[in-house]
Structure 1
Amino acid sequence: MIQKILILAAFLISGLTSAAQNDYLESDAEDVEKTYIGGESYEVKTFSQNFKAKKPKNVILFIVDGMSLPHLHAGLTANKGSLFLTNFKYMGLATTHSANKYITDSAAGGTALSTGQKTTNGAIGVDVNKKPIKTILEEAEEKGLATGLVSTSSITHATPASFIAHQESRNMYEEIAADFLKTDIDVFIGGGYKHFTERKDGRNLVEELTQKNYRVEQDINTIKNIKNGKLAGLTASEHNGRMDERGDMLPVATSTAINILSNNKKGFFMMVEGSQVDWGGHAGSTIYVVEDMLDTDRAVGKALEFAAQNKQTLVVVTSDHETGGMTILEGNYETGMVKGEFTTGGHTGIMVPVMAYGPGAEQFTGFMDNTDIPKKIRKLLIGN
């Protein structure tokens, strides 16, 4: 028990910024973390459902890592019955198994969502034979669209890495960082600064990014004022911390990326990951799940605000897998109280929600596999 308390204390204080890439898997919440007692709610806008065409010019894909219906409902309850996500009128469910396991990890789940192909657990942007698969982000680049990635984790972590890197192991962080230099991605914002600078091969990828005309910044308050050009926002040495440390980094980074990418007259594709709902599930912490569901929802609100005004942008929200086997034992819409319970400290095979808003949103209804999601996006955005 004493050891568990010490682990939890270190986990809460550090916010994961000084932890190793996978330390979030080692956390274990006490009963005090199982109940979110409630807090201040935020106002949610209702957006117009009128759009300019049947196909989008821009696509914003949100991956809420670890989310299934209980996590979503926990967020809805905590914000007293209202979320930006309730603007989504077209909804479906997706299966998430990998090529070799009923229970996927984030690498295989991310690769399925980025390429439309199944792969083995642990693999990043490669097929079952370890051969690279072109991602939807890379295809968008080839069509002249602007591209971007945003994450509250390290930008080299499994989910964002799956859209830009091709490595046989998700743990090859330095190799994944080097893969960014092989692309023309316009904007990426997340942690992972050390994987670009403190490297075994001696390369300084920040210097190389600068030579490729990227503006490299670490302070989100500086990043949020950038309106154009190429941007590498590396906001933490490894992962960004929990909400009490990182603040509104995700909504701010989402808005910043949209502002920059929308300068491209041909359109854009971007992926935004709310990484740490997954970590709350691993920790068995309702509090952690709720705070990151609400943080991601506010980021979704920024995307919806742009999409409603632009009228040419498709916003899709889904997850790579469920984490924690979460259920809700009690709640209160008036106070925002949520009492959760978790059946596992790992992932499960439960289906995940798929939600869509904008031109082409009607394509994302019913039962589907996670590989269907990028195929639908590709057909709508790229045309093949």
Structure 2
Amino acid sequence: MMSTMKKQGKRKVASVMAGVLASSMLLTFPAGVSDAAAKEQPEIKAKNVIMLIPDGMAQDATALARWYNGGEMLALDEMASGLVRTYSADAAIADSAPAGTAFATGYKSHTGYVGVLPDQNTMPGLKPIAPGDAKRPVANLVEAAKLSNKATGIIATSEIMHATPADFSAHYPDRSNYDALSEQQVYAGIDVVLGGGAQYFTAAGRKDGEDLTAAIHRLGYNVVTDTAGLKAASNGKVWGMFANKAMDYDMDRDPAKQPSLAEMTSKAIEILSKDQDGFFLMVEGSKVDWAAHANDPIGIISDVNAFDKAVAEALAFAKKDGNTLVIASTDHMNGGLTIGDRETSNNYDELPLSTFIDPLKKAKVTGEGIEKLLNSDRSNIVQVMSESFGITDLTADEIAAIKATKAGSMNYTVGPIISKRAHIGWTSNGHTGGDVVLYSYGPGGKQLTGLVENTDLARYMESALGLNLASVTQQLFVPAEATFAAKGATVTWDRTDERNPVMVVTKGSDTLRLPVYKNTAILNDKTINLNGTIVFNGEKTFVPQTAIDLIR
């Protein structure tokens, strides 16, 4: 059970938030929710919600994994219930940042934008963005669940500040600004954070020079760095850092150093479910997407299977618990993966399953894993490709291509090599814009059905947990400069450390200091913890209403 101190603190925050009036500068939200679809769905109420996202997973990816496994059904299969539209605010093919923002906040956004509204809505059916609302932060499900006394967690096999996990924990209109995103994550008060990206929390790995690893320890997290450490964690706040950058593909990982996605999911559920108020957990199988970008079918199979094992953990808990909603959906498809290519155009219906699967079964590592097996001058290409990829008929051009591949891109070279032999087709090294499969399981076996918007999923989870995302947005993201000015205060900036600016608000004898991306305020030298982070979106600053209320 969560500590009494934590529970009292959470309830105090909820009580304060319930009494806070929203800023007079109300946010006008754009369209992005399919009301018709929402009304047709069964009413689902749940104590807990687990959302699982296999980033970039094409429909043929699950079929390929199924056949690779001998035809056995996936854990996902019994949850298949509908389709999800994946377009963003201004593009038919979505980037992960706005696609994840739709899942997390209920609003479509612009390419590269994390947890903020777009500059404009140009896709059919979307209302224009209200003047002044461009790039404005909007509340995510983790923030709303936290303010509703629930425990929260995020998991990813990428760097934890990568687009999708950042969508559920931070706000900035540039997914590549790891400094801004990761600092918000540290001060977001999330109970369980598991994934990669350790180097981006060190002073040496950041442009702002902040030692966020020390901050994570100071904030009371049990920091774990390997599988044994994760297994030993039993309660309290846990932060897992299992790789300097992204974690390895499941097929390539050292199980002693890096836990599987299923192990991370199981441990998060174990810890979060001790909170009597319930929990919200987001789990991302990040590198399904990376394998698809590289057209690497082995990476696809590796991490679709790893993701499916995580789904099995969530589904088993939900069935036993009886009060948990599980939703799974990819944010977009990627690569245009097909079982069959142009070489099978005239004989596709005559080819046995072995044509496609046998070449893949010979691989012992992914395309990324191959690179680690090659020696410094890559003179062992033929041997490695034979022993670890099962390919014994490399052409001179293929050997030359492998030898010339730059570091970190080997899967882009060997993925297509094995795809050709297995007749796995690809149309792109980028995302694609088709509808994706919706998987759902609610209390009593209830499911969401039909064709829905990606934004609808946020609304379904919001409704199931009894949350109010719009209210939380008003509570956490008040336009600071204009609102303080309306109270007769003066706003300036302390840029003594240009990399870590501090907003300074003065009125009468009171001086309020608000360091960007943190959840603390300093009022006349007294440090006060806020119930949200201070967000600068590159143009404007937004603060929790509780920070506004410190100036009388």
Instruction: Please state which band the TM-score falls in when normalised by the shorter chain.
Output: 0.7 to 0.9
Return the alpha-carbon distance in structure 1 between the equivalents of residues 465 and 357 of structure 2. 38
Structure 2 CA distance for aligned equivalents of residues 194 and 130 of structure 1: 28
**CA 1:267/1:336 → structure 2, altered by over 3 Å: closer, same or farther?**
farther
Q: 1:373 to 1:107 in 2, by over 3 A?
A: same
Provide the residue aligned with 2:391 in structure 1: none
Equivalent residues of 1:155, 1:190 under 8 A apart: yes
Hey, what does 1:270 align to over in structure 2?
A: 281
Equivalent pair of 2:100/2:167 in contact (CA under 8 Å): yes
Aligned-residue offset at 1:182: 2.8
Task: Find 1:370's aligned residue among 454, 466, 471.
Answer: 454
* 1:216 alignment counterpart: 223
Name the residue aligned to 1:86. 77
Q: Of 133, 137, 143, which aligns to 1:138? A: 143
Report what 2:466 is aligned to: 382
Q: Is 1:182 paired with 2:187? A: yes
1:148 maps to 153
User: CA deviation digits over 1:241-290, x for unaligned, max 9?
Assistant: 12212545211111111111001001000000001111111111111111
CA distance in 2, matches of 1:302, 1:331: 33
1:121-144 deviation digits (Å, cap 9, x = unpaired): 000001011111100111000100
Change (3 A) 1:289 1:144: same
Are 2:266 and 1:245 equivalent residues in the alignment?
Answer: no
Question: Out of 203, 210, 217, which is 1:203 matched to?
Answer: 210
| Partner deviation per Cα, 1:63-83 (whole Å, 9 max, x = no partner) | 000013111111121122221
CA distance in 2, matches of 1:311, 1:115: 26
The CA distance in 2 between the partners of 1:101 and 1:359, in whole Å, is: 35
Alpha-carbon offset, residue 313 of structure 1: 1.3
1:353 maps to a residue whose letter is: V
| Percent identity between the two aligned chains | 40
Q: Give the SS at the match of 1:224.
A: helix
| Superposition deviation, residue 332 in structure 1 | 3.0
CA distance in 1, matches of 2:222, 2:138: 29
In 1: Cα distance, 2:59 partner to 2:200 partner: 34
Deviates more, 1:368-377 or 1:351-360: 351-360
2:86 — aligned with what? 96
Out of 48, 66, 84, the position equivalent to 1:58 is: 48
Match of 2:442 in 1: 358
Query: What's 1:287 paired with?
Result: 298
- Equivalence for 1:26: none
| Letter matched to residue 453 of structure 2 | D
Among candidates 154, 167, 173, match of residue 168 of structure 1: 173
Where does residue 353 of structure 2 map in the other structure? 332
1:200, distance to aligned residue in structure 2 (A): 2.1
Q: Displacement of 1:358 after TM fit?
A: 2.5
Q: How far 1:341 sits from its partner (Å)?
A: 1.1
- Tell me the SS of whatever aligns to 2:232: coil
State the TM-score, normalizing by the size of structure 1: 0.82
Distance 2:355 2:51 in 1: 31
Distance 1:139 1:210 in 2: 25
CA distance in 1 between counterparts of 2:65 and 2:148 reads 37
**Does the 8 A contact of 2:61 with 2:301 survive in 1?**
yes
Partner amino acid, structure 2, of 1:238: K
Q: Alpha-carbon deviation of 1:54?
A: 5.0
Among 234, 237, 240, the residue aligned to 1:230: 237
Query: In 2, are the aligned partners of 1:224 and 1:253 still within 8 Å (CA)?
Result: no
Cα distance in structure 2, aligned partners of 1:220 and 1:203: 27
Other structure's SS at 2:253 match: helix
2: CA distance, partners of 1:266 / 1:331: 52
CA distance in 2, matches of 1:55, 1:335: 43
Q: Deviations over 1:314-361 (max 9, x none)?
A: 111101100001111277399955742111000010111110113276
Q: Distance in 1 between matches of 2:304 and 2:110?
A: 28
Q: CA deviation at 1:296?
A: 0.5
Structure 2: state its 5+ residue gaps. Answer: 1-42, 119-133, 341-350, 361-421, 469-552
Q: 2:70, 2:356 → 1: CA distance? A: 7
1:114 aligns with 2:104: yes
Let me know the Cα RMSD of the aligned residues.
Answer: 1.9
Distance 1:331 1:318, change over 3 A: farther
Structure 2 vs 1, CA of residues 246 and 376 (structure 1 numbering), >3 Å: closer, same or farther? farther
Letter of the 2:241 counterpart: L
Q: 1:383 to 1:171 in 2, by over 3 A?
A: closer
Residue 210 of structure 1, CA deviation: 1.4
Q: Which moved more, 1:247-256 or 1:108-117?
A: 247-256
TM-score, with normalisation over the residues of structure 2?
0.58
- 1:219-260 per-residue CA deviation (whole Å, 9 max, x = no partner) reads 122112211000110111110012212545211111111111
Deviations 1:54-103 (A, max 9, x none): 52111110000001311111112112222111231x51111111111111
Contact 1:116 1:375 (8 Å CA) reproduced: yes
Range with bigger deviation, 152-161 or 306-315: 306-315
Q: CA deviation at 1:170?
A: 0.3
Q: Give the deviation of 1:297 after TM superposition.
A: 0.5
Q: Aligned residue for 2:521?
A: none
User: In 2, Cα distance between the equivalents of 1:271 and 1:195?
Assistant: 21
Question: Quick one: structure 1 residues 246 and 136, their matched pair in 2 at CA, closer, same or farther if it must change by over 3 Å?
Answer: farther
Task: Pick the aligned partner of 2:426 from 342, 346, 351.
Answer: 342
Segments of structure 1 that go 5 or more residues without pairing to the other structure are: 1-52
Query: Are residues 1:260 and 2:267 paired?
Result: no
Which of 49, 52, 61 aligns to 1:71? It is 61
Contact 2:44–2:446, Cα closer than 8 Å, also in 1: no
